[in-house]
Amino acid sequence: MTSTVLTLKSMRIDDVLGFDFLEKPDKETLEYALKQLYLLDAIDKDGTLRTLGSVLSTFPLEPTFTKSLLAACYVSKQCVSDMIKLLSVLSTENIWLGISRQDEQR
């Protein structure tokens, strides 16, 4: 939900709590997403999108992942490489394939 709220904010839709969703999420869920964006420094205390929020909204990742990647850029090239590997694992649904014995015999 955090990515959705960030996308709405980047589209200049400020009132996400009053936004007319097709399937409206719980108010608590939206408030939690806004809190996460505030803690990431993507929005200010009034809910206005900050410069970092604009940058975070351009990446096809969860905002927490994007901020981690950007922070790694300031550390070292090796750190960026390691962070990319870590985020690629975390952003997939299932990295472990179930191989049955029948598949092994083929």
Count of domains in the chain?
1
43 SS3 class: strand
- Residue 11 pLDDT exceeds 80: yes
Torsion angle in degrees (nearest 10) through CA of 5, 46, 24, 20: -100
Classify residue 23 as left (phi > 0), alpha (psi -120 to 50) or beta. beta
- Asked if 3 and 56 count as a contact pair (C-beta separation under 8 A), the reply is no
Average pLDDT over residues 48-70: 92
33 is a domain residue:
yes
Whose tokens are 């351009």? That residue is: 58
Q: Report yes or no on 27 lying in a domain.
A: yes
Assign residue 43 the CATH number of its domain.
Answer: 1.20.120.1080
Domain membership flag for residue 99: no
Average pLDDT value for the chain? 87
Rg (CA), the chain: 18
Task: With respect to residue 106, please indicate whether it lies within any of the assigned structural domains.
Answer: no
- By residue range, what is the domain housing residue 47? 2-90
68-104 pLDDT, tens per residue?
A: 998 888 888 788 888 888 888 888 776 666 666 665 5
Instruction: Report percent pLDDT > 70 for the chain.
Output: 88
Tell whether 67 is covered by a domain.
yes
